[in-house]
Amino acid sequence: MLYETLRCLPDVKDPFADAIKGDDQLPAGTDDYIHIRIQQRNGRKTLTTVQGISDDYDKKKLVKAFKKKFACNGTVIEHSEYGEVIQLQGDQRKNICQFLLEVGIVKEEQLKVHGF
């Protein structure tokens, strides 16, 4: 009832007008974000993990490019919840973001950087 009343008013904008029909039917976690996280190891040592890269890309080749460009070691690990995750030594968050944007693998809106 209240919604019909608001629709009748000429200067009130419908907040749901931009919603795509059927958008609420999508399962959670389908936003196609690439999550870049940092984890503390021992002392000042850190690990950078990259999760969510599409299966269209060969992750082993990406790791090879990361290792060469950033002068660090890295590997692809299998995570029970996240699937294949790229793991690199050191804090490589900014480098990875810049690399993925330069190559065109991802748009800036799809990057989620986590960590301290």
DSSP letter string over 34-59?
EEEEEEE-STT-EEEEEE---TTS-H
| CA atoms of 70 and 7, how far apart (whole Å) | 56
Give pLDDT, residue 6. Answer: 54
Strands 83-89 and 74-79: antiparallel
pLDDT tens digit string along 59-104?
Answer: 999 999 999 999 999 999 998 988 899 999 999 999 999 999 999 9
Q: Is 52 left (phi over 0), alpha (psi -120 to 50) or beta?
A: left
Name the residue among 66, 58, 52 with its Cα closest to residue 114. Answer: 52
pLDDT tens digit string along 19-70?
Answer: 555 444 433 344 589 999 999 999 999 999 999 999 899 999 999 999 999 9
Least confident of 12-16, 64-68, 107-111: 12-16
Identify the structural domains of the chain with CATH numbers, from first to last: 32-113 (3.30.780.10)
